[in-house]
């Protein structure tokens, strides 16, 4: 009897655990695509693009003094853990005329971490609305052309999110006001999409070596 228990513990349990986690990778290994063919930010700034980048996209609006808390939350909870990944970037759209406020914000953010992958792109009302509307979400920009929500854009200019979120059902974006949401949801989803591309890269490299 004791031998049987030992065998179960040593061999059967690890096998069951492996199958469980393997099925989990298959089920949760990809972040759902919610919108395809998002308009590229390069239409506003030729030096910045969504293509071939994993992007956190935000719309700060003209009232940056009230959005600093959102930017600091993102800087600490999302940017800081992931900015060293080669293809990772932050892109923040702001209305033209906000350049001075952006420079102040960059100084504050840069006191905490290297912000070389924070990109601020300027546009007029029509241009910012055009990029935002191409996301095809259930959200809206406010009168200052801003929103507390930020979005995950993949390398093929597709919006990634959740289709079975426990609170919202379809979740297009993540509320940067909420540290809990960034910690408990967005950070996990960024990890998933980074892992997805790492696995794809490993597979491509393995295929080349065959």
156-209 tens-digit pLDDT: 999 999 999 999 999 999 999 999 999 999 999 999 999 998 886 665 665 555
Cα–Cα dist 185/163, whole Å: 13
Q: pLDDT at residue 25 above 90?
A: no
- Alpha carbons 92 and 74: distance in angstroms, whole number: 11
**Tens of pLDDT, residues 41-66:** 999 999 999 999 999 999 999 999 99
DSSP at 41: G
Mean pLDDT for the chain?
87
- Could you state, in order of their start, the residue ranges of all structural domains in the chain? 1-30, 33-209
Report the pLDDT value the prediction gives residue 204, as an integer from 0 to 100: 60
Q: Does domain 33-209 have CATH number 3.50.50.60?
A: no
């Amino acid at each position: 009897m004791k031998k049987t228990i030992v065998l179960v513990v040593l061999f059967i349990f690890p096998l069951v655990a492996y199958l469980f986690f393997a099925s989990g990778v298959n089920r949760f290994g990809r972040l759902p695509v919610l919108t395809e063919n998002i308009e590229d930010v390069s239409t506003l700034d030729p030096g910045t693009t969504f293509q071939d980048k994993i992007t956190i996209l935000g719309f700060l609006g003209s009232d940056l003094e009230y959005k600093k808390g959102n930017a600091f939350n993102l800087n600490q909870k999302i940017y800081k853990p992931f900015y060293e990944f080669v293809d990772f970037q932050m892109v923040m759209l702001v209305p033209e005329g906000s350049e001075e406020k952006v420079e102040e914000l960059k100084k504050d953010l840069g006191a905490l971490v290297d912000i070389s992958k924070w990109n601020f792109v300027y546009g007029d009302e029509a241009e910012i609305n055009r990029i935002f509307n191409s996301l095809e979400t259930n959200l809206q920009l406010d009168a200052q052309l801003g929103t507390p929500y930020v979005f995950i854009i993949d390398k093929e200019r597709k919006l990634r999110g959740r289709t079975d979120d426990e609170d919202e059902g379809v979740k297009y974006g993540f509320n940067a006001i909420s540290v809990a949401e960034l910690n408990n949801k967005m950070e996990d989803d960024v990890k998933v999409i980074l892992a997805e591309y790492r696995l794809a890269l490993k597979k491509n490299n393995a295929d080349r070596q065959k």
